[in-house]
A and B are shown apart, each in its own frame.
Chain A
Amino acid sequence: KAGVTQTPRYLIKTRGQQVTLSCSPISGHRSVSWYQQTPGQGLQFLFEYFSETQRNKGNFPGRFSGRQFSNSRSEMNVSTLELGDSALYLCASSPLSGQGTEAFFGQGTRLTVV
C-alpha cells in the first residue's frame, strides 16, 4: 500500500512569491492534516481537512490556506512568502476524522525562501 506522497520534495522561492504544495493521502484515507516543522518551533499544526471541509485550523496567519479535493488529495498555499516561512511542510493522512486514530506522515516538502 502506497504511503503519503508529497510533491515537490524541495522548493526554493523568493520573498513575496506564493507557493502551492501537494499531498496525496494513503488510499482510503479521507482526513488530511498539514504541519510546519522548524528547528525553533518544532512541529506545529496548520489545518485539517476531511471530506473537502476544513475541520480545524492552527494559529497561523491567513497567508496559509488549503483545500481538499473529492479524491482526498490536498493542497496548501502560502502567499506573500516571508523568510520565516522556510520550513519542512508535512502532510499526514488518517482513515477517519475525529479522534484517537493514527496519523501517517509523508516525507515532507522542504521550502526555502530567499
Chain B
Amino acid sequence: EDQVTQSPEALRLQEGESSSLNCSYTVSGLRGLFWYRQDPGKGPEFLFTLYSAGEEKEKERLKATLTKKESFLHITAPKPEDSATYLCAVQTSGSARQLTFGSGTQLTVLP
C-alpha cells in the first residue's frame, strides 16, 4: 500500500528564518510527486511536480527536491504570507490520476 508521511506536523518560524519540510514516501512505481499549498477553507493550490530523483524546482522562496525515498520543500527567508498547510502527494504506476496525499505540514510564519 502506498504511504506518504509528512513532517513536522506543524512548524512555527520567525520571518526570515529558513527551514525545510519533509515528505517521505513508500510506493511501488513513483510516477510523480506533487507539492500543494492550502489556505484555510480553500482548495489546494498547485506548486510543483517532481518526476525523478535528483530533480529540483524553484518558485520564489520555495525550492522542492526529490530523492528515491523523500522530498523536501525548502523555504528561504519566509514571510507571513507563506503561512499555510503544505501538502505532498504521489501518483504511482497503475493508479491512473489518483493522488495519495500526506497529512500536511501546517506552517506559521510570525512577523
Contacts and interface: CB of A to CB of B under 8 A. Distances in A.
Contacts of B89: 43
Give 3 nearest A-B pairs by CB, closest first.
A105-B43, A43-B101, A99-B31
Interface residues of B, number: 26
Contact of B97 (A42, A43, A55): A55
A100 B103 CA distance: 21
B73 interface: no
Interface of B: 31-32, 34, 36, 41-46, 49, 51, 87, 89, 91, 93, 95-104
Given A48-B97, A99-B93, A99-B97, A105 B32 contact: no
Interface in A22-49: 31, 33, 35, 42-45, 48
Contacts of A58: 98
Given A56-B96, A56-B97, 9 more contacts: A43-B87, A43-B99, A43-B101, A55-B97, A56-B98, A99-B31, A99-B96, A100-B31, A104-B46
Interface of A: 4, 6, 31, 33, 35, 42-45, 48, 50, 55-56, 58, 90, 92, 94, 97-108, 110
A100 B49 contact: yes
Given A99-B31, A100-B32, A103-B34, A33 B97 contact: yes
Contacts of A107: 42-43
B96 A4 contact: no
B49 to A, nearest CB: 6
